[in-house]
Copies of this chain bind each other. A is one copy, B any other.
Amino acid sequence: MGRVTELELSAWRLFIKTHATIIESIEQDLADQKRVPLTTYDVLIALFEAPDRKLRFGELNQKVVLSKSGLTRLVDRLEREGLIQREKSQEDRRGAYAVLTHEGELQLRKAWPVYARGIKQYFAEPLSDDEMRSLKSAFTVISKALQSSHDKEEKPS
């Protein structure tokens, strides 16, 4: 496989550090303006984009960076806050859906401008269109590679 080169290592370090700083900044902005935090946003937007604004826990779990139990507990909290609701599935009596409520959609809409501004300001603004395209394409490549390596481990056929 070969050693990690200087180039790769410095790119890696920038990648990590940049990510951390951007996320931290956006999270701070959201908190300052009393908007939902990023993890919550992720859940809400996933539901918002889903048919009927609802998803099974399993599906939701794939879209969100969180463990199974982590998701259960996040949904607990969000349900308490009235942003989503549990709805037990008819077809599969084990399972349940998480459904976006009106309040949830409202909070989603209120958070978006802040979030969007953060993405623009901290992430997009400094880059040229060309750089942004390269960035996206690089991550697409990496992402595909990750998927296939993940697939391999799931199903050793």
Mark A residues whose CB is within 8 Å of B. Answer: 1-5, 7-12, 14-22, 24-25, 65, 116-117, 119-127, 129, 131-146, 149-150
Inter-chain CA distance A25–B74, complex, in Å, is 22
Q: A142-B126, A143-B14, A146-B18 are in contact. Are A8 and B120 (CB under 8 A)?
A: yes
Q: Which of B11, B119, B139 contacts A14 (CB 8 A)?
A: B139
Tell me if B136 and A134 are in contact (CB < 8 A). no
Q: A8-B123, A124-B12 are in contact. Are A135 and B138 (CB under 8 A)?
A: yes
How many monomers of this protein are in the complex?
2
Q: Which of B7, B117, B135 contacts A15 (CB 8 A)?
A: B135
Closest 9 CB pairs of A and B: A126-B145, A14-B139, A11-B136, A134-B134, A20-B65, A8-B124, A4-B116, A131-B138, A135-B138
